Structures are given as structure tokens and as C-alpha cells.
Structure 1
Amino acid sequence: MAMHCQIGNMDETPMNFDMVGNKTVNPKGAKTVLIKTTGHEKSSFTVVLACTADGAKLRPIIIFKRKTMPKIKIPIGVFVHVNEKGWMDEEGVKLWLDNVWSRRPGGLRQERSLLVWDMFRAHLTTSTKIRLARINTDVAVIPEGLTSLVQPLDVCLNKPFKDCIREQWNEWMVSGEKLFTKGGNMHAPQLDVLCNFVIKAWNDITEETVIRSFKKCGISNSLDGMEDDFLWQDEGEA
């Protein structure tokens, strides 16, 4: 088996510009609950997260739904890509392999590695397979319907990541700097603000949580059975 630093997991997760939670604070017995938004609940973008079994978190890619690159100063810590649908495609996978996976620790030396990801179509194309072979990366494809059981990002990491972004969005709604249309309608958060949300949320996930996520999914556990208890631990357990 590859060393833990060469075992990785990647996943694409959709996000909305308005990140409304399912909890509000209102007077007891109130019949009407108003949830304030910017009116962009259906506007979305994609975040591509990846990590390795030794606890390292790789640079996120953010894919915005647009034809041209945004004219913003992109914060250090993310890679920004654009796509007319705001979703990952074969070109996005190529960019991720070249700019994130190949640049992880050991990536430039093309040490033999293992990448765990799901059956998304762009992961399985011939050109993707050729590129993976070229950089000495073996692939473990998670069967359909099992990502919630054996994909580290799905099992342990995506939820706290999204929770942290939602908390930042709530803070921005209360006290952040906003832009308005001439008609007085609030714009969604600026793209650089969203980038910073992603950076902070990803940075806040600890190395220990990442390591535990791989063990909980049975990917990096020791072969002597001494770490099998991780398989049965709840996500909140140490």
C-alpha cells in the first residue's frame, strides 16, 4: 500500500450563494418566520476538496458558473476555474490533476500514489485515465451508492466544512460589507468573499479529523487490525 501521504481522496460538492440554515431565532410561538437572504438561493458554484491520509489538505478549487474569469484578486489558498454550468467536467479534472494533485507533497516526484474518488463521469474518461497513468497514480473508484460509507470527505469532512461556510455567511449577512442594485436589492457575496469563506472553512478542519476520516472509511488502517475500532466510531468521537 502507498504511504499515507500518497493516499488521497477528492470530491466535488455544490454550494449556494445564499447558505440559509435550517435554524432561526424567533420569539416563542411566532407564527411567521422570516429568513433574510440576498435572493440568490438558486445561484450555485462548486468546490472541489481533496486531502491525503496523513492529514494534509490540498488546495481547494472553486468553479464559478460563468464564461470568463472574474476580475477579482484571487486570494492565496484557492484555485479558481469557470464553467458555463458551474460544475466539474473533464477539463476541470485535468486542471485539478495538473494544479492540485500533481503539486501535493511528493507529486512532482511522481511517486506511486492512490486516489480515491467516486464514479462521476469525468473521473472515468479515457483521457483522465491516461493522465493518471502518466503521473503514476492508481485509482480506487467508489461504487455508486457507497460514497456515504467509504468516502472520507463525504463521511466526515463535507458537513463541518459546509457548516463553517454557513456560519461565515450568517456573519456576513449581519455585518459584512454589501453591494446593492439601483433598485435596492442586495447582491450576493462578492466572489473573493466566497473564496475567503472556502479558505477559512477548509483551514478550520484539523489534521487529526482528516486522518480519522480515512481510518473510519477503512482506507489507511494498519493491517494488524489495531485500528479497526475507527470503523465503528461516531464522527464526533476522538
Structure 2
Amino acid sequence: MDQKLLFNKLLQANDVKDKQLLNAKLQHANEIQKTEEENQKFQKQLEKMTTAFANMQVTNKKKIQELDQSRYKYVLDFKKEGFDDEMSEESDCDGNDSDEDYSLPPEPKRIRLEEKYPTEVWEQIIEKSEKGWKFSTIQAQHKKLSDRKEIQRMKQYLGTDGSKIQKFCDINLAVLRDFLNMRNELEEIHDRDLVDSALKAADELGLPTFKASEGWLHQFKKKNGIVSRKINAVVTKAQLGNQPELDTVIEEFRENMKVVIAEKRLEKVFNADQTGIKQEMISGRTLAIKGEKKIKAVVKRVNATTHSYTVQVLISAAGKLVLPVMVVFCEPKRPACFEQQLLPFKNIKAYSTNSGIMTSQLGITWLQDIYKPNAGENSVLMVDSWTGYRQAIDQDNGSVQVHILPPKSTSVAQPLDVYFNRPFKNFIRLLSCKIRRNFKEFDLSNREGMATLIDITIGQFSAPVFNAMIQYS
């Protein structure tokens, strides 16, 4: 009996599941049918919209054609009633045709009196007018005259030393002349100087209403390509006076070096120079929101941005950066661990002085301990006229052929100064910025941080990929 009841319950449960399944199938079928009906409605609406759009295109095309055909209304029609054409027997303009290429003629450009005739001719015209000549007679000789008023304007302009427009042009020329003279003298020039020059010229030309506004100043600078530039070199009047003689000496030195280099292998020709590196380098500019009054940047030590250490770089004419590189750190009180702390940095050979600047004794040490072991015998060394090099050469046994650059010529004749040092420092500046941003705990301004930075930089520039750049310098 119990089994029968259980069996009946199972049958009832299956019937319920079958009904639920059937209901689900019916519901799904209804949803599919509903979706199809909606798709059909959407398709019909789309067809209606497509048809309406096509009709609209046809209508617009007809309107455009009608507008094109009606353009003749705006052209003089010689066949229209009331138009008196005495010179033509019939018009060759057909009212049914449209002139699609027709366009209104440009307005004639007004020609100023200064452009028509020079002031000498003005005086001749005025003289003829004052003698009682008819305007038609004067106009026959000077066909650019338009009417009698132009003769009156000529008198007025001559009485006031030219028209106002001409005076503006004269002011611009005077300011440009002053600017070029000041640049030739290598003087500092600022906006205020241009304004003063303009006001002075306006006063001389009798134009008291001229104010030398910011708008005038902006347009004057833009027209003449004048911009503000950073001063990157200072000279004295004496140096300027000696410049032609210095140029001759530099050219002679270059010609002599060409002969020397031609006789030697490039691997045997070297150039050495000192360059100062800030203990912590930072760019002088940064992106900021427009209008910010105080632009600050974070460094480890402010003093490190003003104190330097020295790097003594040696390159060959073959494009090789010679390793190790002498680096002179600023150590007023050199610790006992100095050499041990910097020993792991293989690309540099560390020394120290109280100021971080090379001494004559270090120059002698560099020549004996770094240059000669790398250069070998019969090498050629080109250096500037620093006293330390001269003392090192005097103490040498003559195994190095040394060529000293003429004084005051390193900026144009020293290979390291001409090209290498600037990208070298730019790389250090860029790498410093990346380290400050991504390794905030790393101290660039201490001894180990500076050694790490310069060691990495020298390692990069000694790679073969930089050989062409070094050789180019």
C-alpha cells in the first residue's frame, strides 16, 4: 500500500514537471513570435524612412537645379524692357541659359597716395594746381589721380611730413634700425627698449597720439621675427676687438690638426676636457597649470643643486669614450671609507678635493695613471690651455705629442665642448628626473648616489651605439 502511494506521488510530480515544461515551451514560442512581429514592424518603418529620404534627395536636387537656373536674374539682361543698350544691336545672352561659372568681381584694392606717386611728383602736381591748371589737364599727365581731393590730401600730407600711415611705417623702420644696431653691439634688449625707441621716433615725426601699445609691440616683434632668448655667453669689448685675429688663429690650428690626424691612426688621437656636474641636477622648467604663481620642485638637498663635482672625459677620434673616467668629488672632509665605498664603480676612478675642482697635481696624476696606460706610445692629445695640463706635460718624458688649443677658443674648437658635453649632461639631467620619480628613497645628492649616476651614464656613453656621435664631435 505504501509503495502504491509513493508511485502515485511520483506520477503526480512528473505530471507537474511536464506541465511546467510545456508552459515554458509555449511562453518561449510566444516570445519568438512577438520578436518576429516587432522585427517586421521595424523593417516596415525602415523601408518608409528610406523611401522618404530618397524622395527628399530628389526634391532637394530639383530645388538646387531651380536655383542654378535662376542665377541669370542677378546678371544684367540686355533683353529686359527698359534697358537702353545703344552700343549693341542684339544681346547674345540667352535668358534660358545659366552662367554657372559666373562670380562677382573682387572689390578693387584701394591704392594709397604714397603708392601712386613719390613725394617729388606730389610737389609737381601741387605746383601745377596752384598755377591754375585744370584738373583734367593734370589728370591727363598723371593718370593715377582719381579726383581733386587727392591734390588737397597731398598738400596736407606734405605739410605734416607725410600721412599717418606713412609715419607708422617710418616708426617701424626706425625701431628696427635701432634694434639691429643694438644687436650688432651685443647689447641687452628688452620690450621696454623697443617701446622707448618707438616713442622717440613718433616724437621726431610729429605723431604725439602714437602710444606704442602692447598690440603694436606684439605685431612688430612677430613681423620681424624678434623673440626673447636666454643669454648663454658673455664677452668683453676687448674680446670682440680681438675676434677676427682669434678666428684666424683657430683656423690655422684646425688646419694643423688635420695634417696631424692624417698622419696618425684615429685610435691614437685624443681629446680631453673637464666638465662640471651639479651634485643634483634639475631642469629649470616644468609643466604647470597656467596662472600658478610659485613653481616649486622637490630635491634631496638644495645645496646640492649649486655645488658641483668634476668629470675628466677622454675621447678618441675613432669615437671611443676611454674608461675609466676620472671623477673629482667635493669632499671638504674626506672620510676614511671614501675609496672603499667607491671601489665597486668600475667606469670611474674617484678622487676628491675640497672644492670638487681638479688641481694641477690631479692633472699630473690623470696623465700618468689614466691617459698613458690607455693611449699607449706615440699618441696625440689635444687639450685646452689649463695650467694643470701644462705642468703635466712639463713633467712628462715627451712620449705624448700634445697640441694646446688657442686661448678663448674652446667653445668652437674643442670637440668635447662643441658637441659631447651637452648631450652628456642632458642625459644625466633626464636620468636624475626619472630616478627621483620612480625611486623616491634613492638619494642622488650623496656620494654613493652621485657615483651611481655618473657610473651608469659613462657606461651608457661608452657603448658602441654612441661611437658615431663621439666621432662626429
Same fold (TM > 0.5): yes
Query: Alpha-carbon deviation of 1:202?
Result: 2.8
Task: For 1:50-199, list aligned pairs within 5 A.
Answer: 50-59=314-323, 60-66=325-331, 67-68=333-334, 70=338, 71-74=340-343, 75-104=345-374, 106-107=375-376, 110=377, 112-125=378-391, 127-131=392-396, 133=398, 136-176=399-439, 178=441, 189-199=445-455
Give the SS at the match of 1:100.
Answer: helix
Kept in 1, the 8 Å contact 2:342–2:451? The answer is no
Deviations 1:164-201 (A, max 9, x none): 1111211222233547xxxxxxx653323222322332
Mapped to 2, the partners of 1:132 and 1:85 lie a distance apart of 30
Kept in 1, the 8 Å contact 2:275–2:312? The answer is yes
Residues 92 and 177 (structure 1), Cα distance of their counterparts in 2 relative to 1, 3 Å cut: farther
Kept in 2, the 8 Å contact 1:65–1:82? The answer is yes
Kept in 2, the 8 Å contact 1:162–1:201? The answer is no
Query: Alpha-carbon deviation of 1:103?
Result: 2.1
RMSD over aligned CA atoms reads 2.0
Kept in 1, the 8 Å contact 2:330–2:355? The answer is yes
Mapped to 2, the partners of 1:158 and 1:62 lie a distance apart of 15
How many correspondences in the alignment? 199
Query: Alpha-carbon deviation of 1:208?
Result: 0.5
Structure 1 equivalent of residue 277 of structure 2:
15
Which segments of 5 or more consecutive residues in structure 1 lack a partner in the other structure?
Answer: 180-186, 214-238
The equivalent position to 2:459 in structure 1, one of 196, 203, 208, is 203
Mapped to 1, the partners of 2:292 and 2:409 lie a distance apart of 41
TM-score, normalised to structure 1's length?
0.76
Give the SS at the match of 2:364.
Answer: helix
Please tell me the residue identity of whatever aligns with 1:19: M
Mapped to 1, the partners of 2:452 and 2:296 lie a distance apart of 27
Query: Alpha-carbon deviation of 1:132?
Result: 5.8
Deviations 1:24-53 (A, max 9, x none): 121123222112222122222111111000
Deviations 1:83-117 (A, max 9, x none): 1221111221122112221121x52xx2x111011
Please tell me the residue identity of whatever aligns with 1:91: Q
Mapped to 2, the partners of 1:122 and 1:132 lie a distance apart of 16
Mapped to 2, the partners of 1:65 and 1:130 lie a distance apart of 26
Query: Alpha-carbon deviation of 1:64?
Result: 0.8
Mapped to 2, the partners of 1:128 and 1:81 lie a distance apart of 21
Structure 2 equivalent of residue 231 of structure 1:
none
Say if 2:308 is the partner of 1:48: no
Structure 2 equivalent of residue 228 of structure 1:
none
Higher helix share: 2
Which segments of 5 or more consecutive residues in structure 2 lack a partner in the other structure?
Answer: 1-262
Kept in 1, the 8 Å contact 2:382–2:405? The answer is yes
Kept in 1, the 8 Å contact 2:310–2:356? The answer is yes
Q: Which has the larger radius of gyration?
A: 2
Residues 36 and 98 (structure 1), Cα distance of their counterparts in 2 relative to 1, 3 Å cut: same
Mapped to 1, the partners of 2:342 and 2:279 lie a distance apart of 19
Residues 132 and 80 (structure 1), Cα distance of their counterparts in 2 relative to 1, 3 Å cut: farther
Q: Comparing both chains, which one has the higher relative contact order based on Cα–Cα distances under 8 Å and sequence gaps of 6 or more? A: 1
Structure 2 equivalent of residue 216 of structure 1:
none
Q: Identity over aligned residues, as a percent?
A: 20
Residues 77 and 115 (structure 1), Cα distance of their counterparts in 2 relative to 1, 3 Å cut: same
